[in-house]
Each structure stands twice: as C-alpha cells, then as structure tokens.
Amino acid sequence: MKETVQEKGTLLLALIAGLSINGTFGALFSSVVPFSIFPIISLALAVWCLHQRYQSRTMPQGLPGIAAACFVLGLLAYSAVIRVEYPEIGSNFLPSVLSVIMVFWIGYKIRSQQTSA
C-alpha cells in the first residue's frame, strides 16, 4: 500500500509541474495572461520535490512513462483552462480533446500496471 501512495505522489507532482511550467510560461511571455509569481514558486517546488524523490528511491517499471504523461496532461489542461478564460488566445478544442485522451490513457496504464503486479 505504501508503494502506491508514493507512486501517486510522484504522478501528482508531475501533473503540478506540467501545470506550473505552462503557467510560468504564460505569466512571463503572454501579454494576455496577467503576471503572477505563484506559478514560478510552484514550478520550483514541484521540480525540487520530484528531484528529491528521484534521488531517494527507485521508480518501478512503467512509472516514468506515466509520470511523463501526467506532465503532458498538466500542460494540456492548463492550456485548455487558460483558453477558456481568455478566448482571444484561440480555441480550446484541441487541448481539451487531447487532455481527455491522456486521462484515459493514464487510467489504462495504471490499471494494467496494477493487474500485472
């Protein structure tokens, strides 16, 4: 049980890192999105925590791919949400559809990893 909680923490940190890197990019380089220091702080903390987890314990087989998918899901989800809030940036159709596909793929991979273990 303890292993799965640590794995879920790693996946959550990867999702937060994806959200915050897109938020940092938007805050620094987009004239439409107002500046905020909080995405930069959350990016630094999420990356630091992921680095500490990587140094202290080994990842089970299959987890790095799922963590990368969670990172991409964070990128896509933030992009979809920010495009809803600021429609002048563009349509949110593609990021929304890709986010849903990523959620189902991550769920499938987690479920197949649990049944094989």
List, for residues 17-53, the tens digit of each pLDDT value.
999 999 999 889 988 888 999 999 999 999 999 999 9
- Per-residue pLDDT of 62-103, as tens digits, reads 889 999 999 999 999 999 999 999 888 889 999 999 999 999
Tell me what pLDDT residue 7 has. 85
The pLDDT-based confidence of 114 (bands split at 50, 70, 90) is confident
Cα distance between residue 117 and residue 110, in whole Å: 11
For residue 85, CA distances in Å to 4, 24, 54, 100 come to 35, 16, 35, 19
Task: Report CA Rg, the chain.
Answer: 16
pTM, rounded to two decimals: 0.90
Of 95 and 58, which is predicted with more confidence? 95
C-beta atoms surrounding 42 within 10 Å: 17
* Total number of domains constituting the chain: 1
* Mean pLDDT of the residues in the chain: 90
Q: Please provide the size of the chain in residues.
A: 117
Tell me what pLDDT residue 1 has. 39
Instruction: State residue 62 phi and psi, 5-degree precision.
Output: 95, -20
Report whether pLDDT(2) > 90. Answer: no
Query: In which domain, by residue range, is 79 found?
Result: 2-116
Q: Report whether 14 contacts 67 (CB < 8 A).
A: yes
Tell me what pLDDT residue 3 has. 57
